[in-house]
Amino acid sequence: MEAQDTYFSAPQILDCGGKRLDLSRPAVMGILNITPDSFYAGSRMDSAEAALAAAKQMLADGAAILDVGAASTRPGSVAPSETEEWQRLQPVLELLHAELPEAIISVDTFRATVARKAVAAGATIINDVLAGTGDPDMFAFAGECGLPYVLMHSQGTPETMQRNPQYSNVTHEVGQFFTEKIAALRKAGATQIILDPGFGFGKTMEHNFQLLRELDFFTRMPYPVLAGLSRKSMLNRLLHITAAEALNATTAANMIALQKGALLLRVHDVKEAVQAVRVFEMANEKSS
């Protein structure tokens, strides 16, 4: 597949259960981790009240989406049971929906049953890190509910993905993966698709930087592209720093993603990402 063969503009407005997500300019997705073992300790929320306070701050800082997840996807992690995942998610989703009814909430899950319950509790975007491979019913539900669906590439599962990942050409293989999965999603009735190349999911540092360097291969496709680079190991290993020290590197990587056409940035640090978007927009503003 050649990206230029399928090029036309990605849709500028997504319908999130009646709420409009405007992607005529880049938007920021704030990460709310309801899990004790996410790779970045600063993102972990230990109660629904803590998540609500963080969500309010993210919205004040300019987040367009709140992404709520209750299963760590760090390399080597083992997914919690479906029951445990929902027990973590339910009180948070219900509180966010009650207190922030206008917020666009994304649920980060690979399970269709959890996604269904989350949508009933107020979520209006599905963020699936396993692209339907973790649950054979996920694509059918994505088509049934009609909400935006984040299709993310991963080689393997979080438990296995960093065990010697290999590609002949990572960009082309991720592109082929997208082509095949988009066809399956559309056959199931899903039309609002967001592409995520899956930085850090079954890739070496070199694979990740090739994807970042060649991100415009995907941004030429007819779907918005999400870049999830925040405090990832590709940055930490390169610079010999910890996730806690990676804010500056994240901003640099986010700026490259914006220059390559990404329309969504998934981040732990909303204020700084929104500032990066504003600088990017100003630098690319045409003179009158």
Which residues participate in catalysis according to the annotation? 232, 266
Residue pair 201/154 in contact (Cβ under 8 Å)? The answer is yes
As a whole number of angstroms, the distance between CA 272 and CA 267 comes to 9
As a whole number of angstroms, the distance between CA 214 and CA 208 comes to 10
Q: Is residue 89 classed as helix, strand or coil in its secondary structure?
A: helix
Q: Across-strand partners of 67?
A: 31, 106
H or E segment to which residue 236 belongs: helix 233-239
Instruction: Tally Cβ neighbours within 10 Å of residue 120.
Output: 12
- Tokens for 157, please give them: 């599962």
Query: In degrees to the nearest 10, what's the CA dihedral of 84, 90, 96, 102?
Result: 120
Find how far residue 165's CA is from the centre of its chain. Answer: 21
Q: Across-strand partners of 31?
A: 67
CA distances (Å), origin 46, targets 32, 37, 53, 148: 11, 11, 12, 28
Contacts of residues 99-103 at CB distance under 8 Å and 24 or more positions apart, as own/partner, are 99/52, 100/52, 100/55, 100/56, 100/59, 100/66, 102/19, 103/55, 103/59, 103/66
- Tokens for 233, please give them: 């190991």
